[in-house]
Structure 1
Amino acid sequence: MLLQILLDIILPIFVLIGFGALMQRAFRLDLYTLAKINFYYITPAAVFMSMYQAEMSPSLLGTVALFYAVYVFILYLISAAVSKPLGFKRGMKAAFTNSLILDNSGNYGLPINDLVFKGDPLAASVQALIMSFQSLLTFTYGTISVQSAKAEGFGKQALIGFLKMPVPYCLVLGLVLHALNVPLPEFVSKPLLYIDHSLVAVALLTLGAQIVKYPLQLTRLEVYYSVLIRLLIAPAIGLCLVLLLGLKGIPAQALLIASGMPTGVNTSILAEEYNNEPDFAAQTVLVSTLLNIVTITGLITLAKHFA
């Protein structure tokens, strides 16, 4: 089973990431444009279609929200517990916390979900919700934490940043149209499906181009603390929550796998934008993504037991 998961799910993911890395090396791709295509074009369409085709009851939606809130809160407490004895300064503490709570549920998690569950609408809906919560967290706490020294006018900036995100609007619109059973005309549904089907290839190419930008360094001990918590402790928390909430089937599997994503690229983007430990952030993204080959394979295998 492990070999099959590695060959059928994990290897295709990293082949596409590898293509992105090679293209970045050869052509110096415009990462700003690629990020915008993913964020404002492909991901919103994918989220909308996931919600529109969703098979998620209101009670399950509430359970996913509860799972995510508790999951992030526990990781935050762990970050605080680790940061204090290590003597992290304010900026490093913010970067360390972001590396734990901001994972790559978008351009890595969505393709993983799509390949594991073969496009199952319920599984895709769960992952889309997690990604939307991640986007909200990124533009609220994630941004606040690295810009806390610039308090003047910051609340307005954070609010504007959140209001500019297309994903939450698409999520709500998809849920509303699904609840009202509103049929989509062909000239709307077909383009959205075409965009949705490009998600895996374009998102992973972008990820490969992003992570190859940073040279691999193995000298920062705090990077290993972050990666250990992100790849091992975080999914253990996810497993405990799945059991405590009594989840089974596809929701349990999707949430468990979602809890084991590597550190999100947004962590590095925020660190660069505000010049807050950018080297540490870049290394956590790169190292956690590479090591995730092993951990996500084991997690997918474990998730099969919740079928």
Structure 2
Amino acid sequence: MECHVPALLSIFLNVLAPVFLLVSFGYIAGPRLNLESRTLTRFSYFILIPAFTFDVMSNARIGAALAGQMVAYAIIVHLACAGVGYVVATLLSRSPKMVAAYMLIAIFGNVGNFGIPIVQFRFPGSDQALVAGTVYFLAISSIAFVVGVAAANWHRGSAWRAALAVVKTPALIAVPPALLVNSLQIELPPLLSRSISLLSAAMIPTMLVALGVQLSGAGMPRLTLDTVLAAVVRLVAGPALALALAPLFGLDGIERAVGVLQAAMPAAVLASIIAVENDLLPEFVITTVLFSTLLSIVTLTLVLAIV
């Protein structure tokens, strides 16, 4: 498939530029206005994301079989991506900590801050795409959190702590009541439904600005071979595996396209938080998160042209 420069430029301006513009607002305004990235992130994590999840899933029209296929697909793709990170770092004879850092970066894509808005801009007005993006977001976040924290703690045997943390994730807690409302066709009172919708609408701009504020504290990345390779594993292996494995799960159309997009996201800031909390080469992980975000301007434009 031949991708002409004008077409790529159009894709970048119409789909990616609005996302990066909001991130840039946070990057510039954060230090100048003394914005607290932790406050913005916690507000998004505990309030806005659950509201968004409930709003989408309570109104979703998707069969259980298809949802199961999508969840299995997302989990297998990202486990395979973590496997690629493990193989690359092992072949380079890196230390156990560096191997774990590669796996953390490989599996933890930014499917929330970046993934959801890019899906919305790529498929404007498509409820099917938004539902698919949300299902992938929940599945990928869950498996990434478990494997990421387990990898960071594999020498401490703390995988159960990761599993427990996932169970208590606010976005996942919002899923059962949303599915109950959906299946029973319960009509919520306007006071509640409108409040949830308003919070849901605030999620994307708040998360993008928060991402910019977080990245502003990282400074310019100092590139090393490991930084480049770990970022390439995240940005290239992810969508390549998603494209290759989609037929095995019977996925095509929007579900396939959204799955590939979500697999192509740069490393998530949450990966750097896990690295800091577990003393897993935090400077390396933070640098790679920032570098992969910058490099994704190119890689996501190409992936968008393909899907």
Q: What is the TM-score when the length of structure 2 is the normalising length?
A: 0.92
Give the Å deviation of 1:156.
Answer: 5.5
Greater displacement, 91-100 / 77-86: 77-86
Give the Å deviation of 1:108.
Answer: 1.2
With over 3 angstroms needed to count, the CA separation of the structure-2 counterparts of 1:148 and 1:233, relative to structure 1, is closer
Correspondent of 1:282 among 274, 281, 286 = 286
Distance 1:156 1:226 in 2: 26
DSSP 3-state at the match of 2:176? helix
The 5 A counterparts of 1:124-163 are 124-151=130-157, 154=158, 157-163=161-167
Unpaired runs of at least 5, structure 1: none
DSSP 3-state at the match of 1:198? helix
Distance 2:73 2:144 in 1: 18
The 5 A counterparts of 1:73-222 are 73-151=79-157, 154=158, 157-222=161-226
- Cα offsets for 1:230-268 (capped at 9, x unmatched): 112211111112234342222122112111100111110
Distance 1:11 1:229 in 2: 23
Contact map agreement 2:100 2:151 (CA 8 A) in 1:
yes
Give the Å deviation of 1:90.
Answer: 1.6
CA RMSD in angstroms comes to 1.7
Correspondent of 1:63 among 56, 64, 69 = 69
Residue 37, structure 1, aligned to residue 35, structure 2: no
Distance 2:224 2:204 in 1: 32
Amino acid at match of 1:157: R
Contact map agreement 2:152 2:275 (CA 8 A) in 1:
yes
Q: Specify the alignment match of 1:25 in structure 2.
A: 31
Contact map agreement 2:78 2:140 (CA 8 A) in 1:
no
Unpaired runs of at least 5, structure 2: 1-6
Correspondent of 2:268 among 251, 264, 269 = 264
Distance 2:301 2:109 in 1: 17
Distance 1:54 1:25 in 2: 39
With over 3 angstroms needed to count, the CA separation of the structure-2 counterparts of 1:155 and 1:96, relative to structure 1, is closer
Amino acid at match of 2:274: L
- Cα offsets for 1:128-179 (capped at 9, x unmatched): 122212332244221122123333xx45533442233111121232222212
Greater displacement, 212-221 / 64-73: 212-221
With over 3 angstroms needed to count, the CA separation of the structure-2 counterparts of 1:62 and 1:75, relative to structure 1, is same
Q: Specify the alignment match of 1:245 in structure 2.
A: 249
Q: Percent identity?
A: 27
Amino acid at match of 1:82: V
Q: Specify the alignment match of 1:234 in structure 2.
A: 238
Number of matched pairs: 301
Give the Å deviation of 1:189.
Answer: 0.8
Q: Specify the alignment match of 2:53 in structure 1.
A: 47
Distance 1:273 1:28 in 2: 23
Distance 1:261 1:217 in 2: 18
Distance 2:145 2:250 in 1: 31
Q: What is the TM-score when the length of structure 1 is the normalising length?
A: 0.92
